Structure 1
Amino acid sequence: MKTLILLFTVCLLLSSCATQNGNTYQQLGGQAKIEEIVDNFIYEIEFDPVLFEFFKDSDINRFREKLIEHLCLLTGGPCQYTGDSMEQVHAGMNISESSYNHGVDLFINAMTKAEIPHPIQNKVLATMIHTREQMIYQ
């Protein structure tokens, strides 16, 4: 009986997490808003001398496509991420904690320009935080 209760509790928690992520995607505004955020972020990067250095030789169309996929997946949307791992993408870039944090600030600006409410921005950032260690130079 205890095993059955434990199993039920675990299933309930897992479905709750999936629902919360799905809700984040929906609360964000779905695919159209994700694309708007990514486009805003690319614009932010283009006019930022610190982050532009990391992207100046990038295939920006591929970056856009893969960031849209990744953000959609992380927020619980119906997407598949088909890009490389975060470690592979950021290898050799020597991203400092300061540069990473600056990128987060620009991403927040991009969400604000897309009129994403701050509570939803926080949910989005919470889904993305696990990629931090994979991006910063160790």
Structure 2
Amino acid sequence: MKAITRHGLWLGLTAALLVGCASQPAQDDSLYQDLGGMTGIETLVDGLLFRISEDSRIVDQFADADPGRLHRTLSEQICELAGGPCVYSGDDMVTVHTGRNISEASFNALVEDLVEVMEYQHIPIRAQNRLLALLAPMRGEIIRL
């Protein structure tokens, strides 16, 4: 995997992918189960980070990111949002993204990458939509021009 580039903590998505601080966690664990539990979520995050490393539109925004920490916090966020047993231990989205000048185009590129990875991993459309709906409220905290 190519090193994740400089301004990357903004993904700590999103989300960085993007996640938990801006939204309410799921009331049940059905999304967590639909994503394949923790193993499925970690596989999703692996795929997303690889996809970002290959995406010239956003790779430079991750240059300063610690790949291990980014993987851990993204996995925690998605797990918590999906109703899993995790607790997100990262900073809030405003803190993570302030000063990074994340544009709408960059945000959209990350979402496109996430969707491509979910499709590649055969995550059901309903589960994809549920996850994206949980991540969407963070948009305003991430795009900080």
TM band (smaller chain):
0.7 to 0.9
1:94 alignment counterpart:
101
Distance 2:63 2:120 in 1: 23
| Counterpart residue identity of residue 104, structure 2 | E
Q: How many corresponding residue pairs? A: 120
Tell whether 2:27 aligns with 1:42: no
Distance 2:85 2:136 in 1: 20
Distance 2:108 2:118 in 1: 15
| Counterpart residue identity of residue 73, structure 1 | E
Distance 2:98 2:68 in 1: 20
**Contact 1:40–1:113 (CA under 8 A) maintained in structure 2:** no
2:75 alignment counterpart:
68
1:124 alignment counterpart:
131
The answer for unaligned runs of 5 or more in structure 1 is 1-16
How far apart are 1:38 and its partner, in Å? 0.2
How far apart are 1:41 and its partner, in Å? 0.3
Distance 1:122 1:105 in 2: 13
Q: CA RMSD in A?
A: 1.1
Whichever of the two has the greater Rg, that structure is 1
Relative contact order higher in (CA < 8 Å, ≥ 6 apart): 2
2:27 alignment counterpart:
18
The answer for unaligned runs of 5 or more in structure 2 is 1-25
How far apart are 1:54 and its partner, in Å? 0.6
User: Greater helix share, 1 or 2?
Assistant: 1
Distance 2:121 2:38 in 1: 13
How far apart are 1:32 and its partner, in Å? 0.7
1:50-91 Cα shifts (integer Å, max 9, x gaps): 110110121111100000000001111110011101111111
Distance 1:46 1:93 in 2: 18
TM-score by structure 2 length?
0.79
1:3 alignment counterpart:
none
Distance 2:134 2:33 in 1: 14
